[in-house]
Amino acid sequence: MKNPDEQKRKYGFLYRNSLTLVFMFLALVFLLGQAFTGMQEHNRDMREAGQPAVGLWQYLHTGHFIQATFENWESEFLQMGIFVVFTIFLYQQGSSESKPPGEKTEVDREPQPSPDAPWPVRKGGIVLALYKHSLSIALFLLFAFSWAAHLWGSWKDHAQQRAAEKSDPGTLWQYLGSSRFWFESLQNWQSEFLSVACLIFLSIYLRQKGSPQSKPVDMPYDETE
């Protein structure tokens, strides 16, 4: 295993963190694009309802923007959280996304304290117990936050529409049981799980040279890394 300090000396910060930085940059670019196009769509609806248009800063506080943003975030974090947990005990022979069926791998071993180990491993006890599951805990907390923000934004947008119609929007608790809210959630959830299933299955037979998400090009179909 290469020494992390040696890698830091050899490669700059941007090179070592390029995958995260590029994806965060893309997320920001598309979020800005969503905000500008969403504002135009929202203002079109507002004008049709005889309401004044809003600027970008105002739009970012509308239920229309909040609902659309967190509706997608929640499905992503739910999908990743469940995927992380299910890959502990579920298998797909031949897939690069699965552990070999019936075999223990490096990720299954119990952590051993060492000078280079993360602080929670050296601390032990309840800190280590939580750290051992910290990835799935973080993803499910992000899902819970996004789900709550989606609910709030969707209800806020619903209330604004009802106000324009001069009708009662009901309470947030009542809206939680509405078909609109669950339609918004479930249409995204199903697409996320479909995409994961496709990745798991297609990685058995298809390859992408150089990607850690793929098996080596010459590896047999039924062999699992």
Per DSSP, the three-state class of 187 is helix
If we measure between CA atoms, which residue out of 206, 81, 95, 180 comes closest to residue 140?
81
Structure tokens at 18: 């390029």
* pLDDT value, residue 5: 65
Q: Can you give the pTM of this predicted structure?
A: 0.90
What is the separation, in whole angstroms, between the first and last Cα of the chain?
Answer: 19
DSSP string, 15-61: HHTHHHHHHHHHHHHHHHHHHHHHHHHHHHHHHHTT-----HHHHTT
**Domain spans of the chain?**
1-53, 62-106+134-225
∠ Cα 99 100 103 (to 5°): 105
Residue 70 · residue 146 · CB < 8 Å: yes
* pLDDT value, residue 4: 64
* pLDDT value, residue 89: 93
* pLDDT value, residue 102: 86
Give 102's contacts (C-beta < 8 A, 6+ positions apart). 91
Q: How many CB atoms lie within 10 A of CB 149?
A: 17
User: CA torsion sign, 49 to 51 to 52 to 54?
Assistant: negative
Structure tokens at 81: 């959280």
If we measure between CA atoms, which residue out of 54, 96, 75, 128 comes closest to residue 221?
96
* pLDDT value, residue 224: 83
Question: Which residue reads 């552990």 in tokens?
Answer: 99
| Rounded Cα distance, 94 and 82, in Å | 20
Question: Which residue reads 């058995």 in tokens?
Answer: 204
pLDDT in tens, the chain (225 residues): 556 667 667 788 899 999 999 999 999 999 999 999 999 999 998 898 888 899 999 999 999 999 999 999 999 999 999 999 999 999 999 999 999 998 888 899 999 999 989 999 999 999 999 999 999 999 999 999 999 999 999 999 999 888 887 888 889 999 999 999 999 999 999 999 999 999 999 999 999 999 988 989 988 988 887
Q: By 3-state DSSP, what share of the chain in percent is helix, strand and coil, each rounded to 5?
A: 65, 0, 35
Structure tokens at 219: 């590896």
